[in-house]
Amino acid sequence: MGYCPPLHAEVGPVRAVPPGWSRVLEVSGAGTAPGLAPTLATRARVLALSQLAEDAVLRPADPGGWCHETRAALAARVARLNHEDALANHHLARAGAYSALGNPAHVGQGARIRAALAFLDVLSQDPRDMDGNDVSRLHHVGISDADIVRLADLGAFLSFQVRLVAGLRLLAEAQP
């Protein structure tokens, strides 16, 4: 069994929304909604922890088989599949040469990336339809267990982030 740090480890007090997260707040429109400032201030810790999660998933110290640019492109793809174009553009800005992967119509070149895209597309749209065959297809093209977990982590985080941005947008739109 692996080591799991306690949930409160190394976070410390959070008093303001970190600069990187304010971009996502702006993507939702919540960062510029004056009436939301008090609400966002009470949730600064949640927003900061969400930014730490984004950093851990999209820009980890050990990216394994998915470089940071690929992860950004895949994040953009999931955001587009969920009709969050502003969030997709936010991630696409870091995708570099891999930006084509951010387009859901792009099928990728090579068996490994095609299998990863198919896995992520189903995970982000119809996770109930997934089964062991989806993982077997990734194994078949040589994707390691660790990289499958990394891919699933990316899909799970983006599912959260898409919903967070949509919720923040609804709050911003509800402001007088």
For residue 20, pLDDT beyond 80? no
CA 135 to chain centre: 20
Taking only the tens place, the pLDDT of each residue in 109-144 is 999 999 999 999 999 999 999 999 999 999 999 999
Could you tell me the pLDDT band of residue 18, with boundaries at 50, 70 and 90? low
Rounded to whole angstroms, the Cα distance separating 44 from 16 reads 6
Position 22 confidence tier, pLDDT thresholds 50, 70, 90: low
pLDDT score of 21: 60
**Distance of alpha carbon 123 from alpha carbon 99, whole angstroms:** 20
DSSP string covering 60-92, please?
-S--TTS-HHHHHHHHHHHHHHTT-HHHHHHHH
| First-to-last C-alpha distance (Å) of the chain | 52
5 pLDDT band, cuts 50/70/90, is very low
Question: How high is the pLDDT of residue 19?
Answer: 55
* % of the chain at pLDDT higher than 70: 88
pLDDT, position 150: 97
Closest CA to 46 of 25, 28, 63: 25
Q: Is the pLDDT of residue 14 over 50?
A: no
Q: Which CATH architecture has domain 19-173?
A: Up-down Bundle (1.20)
Containing H/E element for 173?
A: helix 145-173
For 26-76, the pLDDT digits (tens) are 888 888 888 888 888 888 888 888 888 999 999 999 999 999 999 999 999
54 vs 23: which has the higher pLDDT: 54
CB 66 within 8 A of CB 154: yes
